[in-house]
Chains A and B, each alone.
Chain A
């Protein structure tokens, strides 16, 4: 485990250099949360509730959703595509540590940093300006695995973007596609289960809902441990898919040459 840990702490420390720039960035992205909050207040205010969500809950949803989003968002393709384009990837695949683990732990450092320097200040800001809720202890404890699963599934999705660069020269479309589901189906703007029609029934079971929707439901006390089910299944499935694709990528490289 030691090399993975080292990789993670190294990325974390590298990020520390840009604290101030990122703080400005955080203030910038807080504005999206405010916009969502005011939209919900104006939209749901007069009628009291939307679906099973009260106005108060929707406002907290928008704020905590923005916090989660900032904690789990990833660099496009986890930068795998850069190594593929430069050809360095053949060296990285040769290293005696697992490539998937290598990339994931490198990015996990970013996430740790994001949690402390992006998400936490954002939460504070919203807590002061909008209000906050301290969930009861069981929910608080459930938030830990829920967050871990959200971060991990996010990394897997980013890994899929990046690894696709072995077969296509331009991963722009794949990451664009991912981005779209991230905004529409993660729950950052609206709870996924109130999306209209069949979307509201299907998308809560898609991997993107893991990122914001389920942690939010736990945070608001709307769901218990069963909110970990869908994320856990996706974590397992995506791990298998990522590992499978890594094997294929390795083979592809061996056939095509470095």
Chain B
């Protein structure tokens, strides 16, 4: 589906020379430095895969995606999507992919969602019957009907994102690229979107997802690629990732009454933050939160609890 070979992208950052007429002189001299955003990477993605693509800000994630979608032209190496080059045959390739950039909208700001969809259907030549079937499916899964007639600028972030994802899938693309689709959403909205993406993937759509949320990856991706400084550091299953970085989540529990200090055994280390609040670090590859909860409730009556996840930045830092 997607084949990437020795892909490299350099950006030229002109140096602004000091002194009078600095800007003009630097324009003429073309002095400056070359920044390598993506450095000689290769990978392959097959049909039906759900791949997470993660890394800190500025690691080269977006640059890769922009080369896969034909926006940027590579400095070296080759990209092939569905057997074609997204740069050479941009219109042909782009017609078969759906793209969602979380920070940017592809909908018409002033028009109701419905009109945006009708325009997209015209743009991608979706036959009317297919269009109606797709809409019904979207409405079942994402409840678009509630804000069907609302101009896009008046939608909440969660509503807009549901609209964006549906819009990207309207023409039944074979590949879906998602850049931070859950950023800034509340738990319920995140959940709805994750379920929808899972459903879409099961229907055979190949998905490449970049995210800052490790839970997205855990719930959705069979395969993770980690990129930093333009190089791919890890390419494998989520278990493989956790075995490398240790998936140390923290469960924080508040008890109804003070608990005399206890240790849990099983190699679990418990830290008492007050006499009624305990924090346990645990490895997700060995314990499920549920197991842990049962252990904890044996200590006393639980009033409240929450889980703190490791973030991607610190996780990737451990890969060195």
A: residues with CB less than 8 A from B are: 19-21, 24
Interface flags, B15-30, vs A, CB<8A=1, else 0:
0000011111000000
When C-beta atoms are compared, the residue in chain A nearest to B25 turns out to be A20
Residues of chain B within 8 A of A20, CB atoms compared = 20-24
Residues of chain B within 8 A of A19, CB atoms compared = 20
Known contacts A20-B22, A20-B23, A21-B23, then 5 further A-B pairs from the complex at CB < 8 Å, ordered by chain A residue: A19-B20, A20-B20, A20-B21, A20-B24, A24-B24
User: Taking the nearest CB of chain A, how far is it from the CB of B216, in angstroms?
Assistant: 32
User: How far is it, in angstroms, between the C-alpha of A104 and the C-alpha of B24 when the chains are bound?
Assistant: 32
Residues of chain A within 8 A of B20, CB atoms compared = 19-20
Residues of chain B within 8 A of A21, CB atoms compared = 23
Q: List 8 A-B contacts (CB under 8 A).
A: A19-B20, A20-B20, A20-B21, A20-B22, A20-B23, A20-B24, A21-B23, A24-B24
User: How far is it, in angstroms, between the C-alpha of A21 and the C-alpha of B24 when the chains are bound?
Assistant: 9
When C-beta atoms are compared, the residue in chain B nearest to A21 turns out to be B23
Residues of chain B within 8 A of A24, CB atoms compared = 24
User: Taking the nearest CB of chain B, how far is it from the CB of A27, in angstroms?
Assistant: 12
User: How far is it, in angstroms, between the C-alpha of A202 and the C-alpha of B35 when the chains are bound?
Assistant: 61
User: How far is it, in angstroms, between the C-alpha of A14 and the C-alpha of B22 when the chains are bound?
Assistant: 16
Residues of B18-64 at the interface with A, using a CB-CB cut-off of 8 Å, are 20-24
When C-beta atoms are compared, the residue in chain A nearest to B26 turns out to be A20
User: How far is it, in angstroms, between the C-alpha of A153 and the C-alpha of B22 when the chains are bound?
Assistant: 35
When C-beta atoms are compared, the residue in chain B nearest to A20 turns out to be B23
User: How far is it, in angstroms, between the C-alpha of A99 and the C-alpha of B23 when the chains are bound?
Assistant: 36
User: How far is it, in angstroms, between the C-alpha of A21 and the C-alpha of B22 when the chains are bound?
Assistant: 10
Residues of chain A within 8 A of B24, CB atoms compared = 20, 24
Residues of chain A within 8 A of B21, CB atoms compared = 20
User: Taking the nearest CB of chain A, how far is it from the CB of B258, in angstroms?
Assistant: 44
User: How far is it, in angstroms, between the C-alpha of A203 and the C-alpha of B299 when the chains are bound?
Assistant: 88
8 closest cross-chain pairs (CB), A and B:
A20-B23, A20-B21, A20-B24, A21-B23, A20-B22, A20-B20, A19-B20, A24-B24
User: How far is it, in angstroms, between the C-alpha of A20 and the C-alpha of B26 when the chains are bound?
Assistant: 12
When C-beta atoms are compared, the residue in chain A nearest to B23 turns out to be A20
User: Taking the nearest CB of chain A, how far is it from the CB of B185, in angstroms?
Assistant: 24
Interface flags, B128-159, vs A, CB<8A=1, else 0:
00000000000000000000000000000000
Residues of chain A within 8 A of B23, CB atoms compared = 20-21
User: Taking the nearest CB of chain A, how far is it from the CB of B15, in angstroms?
Assistant: 15
When C-beta atoms are compared, the residue in chain B nearest to A24 turns out to be B24
User: Taking the nearest CB of chain A, how far is it from the CB of B224, in angstroms?
Assistant: 39
User: Taking the nearest CB of chain B, how far is it from the CB of A127, in angstroms?
Assistant: 22
User: Taking the nearest CB of chain A, how far is it from the CB of B22, in angstroms?
Assistant: 7
User: How far is it, in angstroms, between the C-alpha of A20 and the C-alpha of B27 when the chains are bound?
Assistant: 12
User: How far is it, in angstroms, between the C-alpha of A182 and the C-alpha of B23 when the chains are bound?
Assistant: 32
User: Taking the nearest CB of chain B, how far is it from the CB of A20, in angstroms?
Assistant: 4
Which of B20, B22, B23 has the most A CB atoms < 10 Å from its CB? B23
Residues of chain A within 8 A of B22, CB atoms compared = 20
User: How far is it, in angstroms, between the C-alpha of A19 and the C-alpha of B22 when the chains are bound?
Assistant: 10
User: How far is it, in angstroms, between the C-alpha of A20 and the C-alpha of B16 when the chains are bound?
Assistant: 12
Which of A19, A20, A21 has the most B CB atoms < 10 Å from its CB? A20
User: How far is it, in angstroms, between the C-alpha of A249 and the C-alpha of B24 when the chains are bound?
Assistant: 44
User: How far is it, in angstroms, between the C-alpha of A206 and the C-alpha of B291 when the chains are bound?
Assistant: 82
User: How far is it, in angstroms, between the C-alpha of A24 and the C-alpha of B22 when the chains are bound?
Assistant: 13
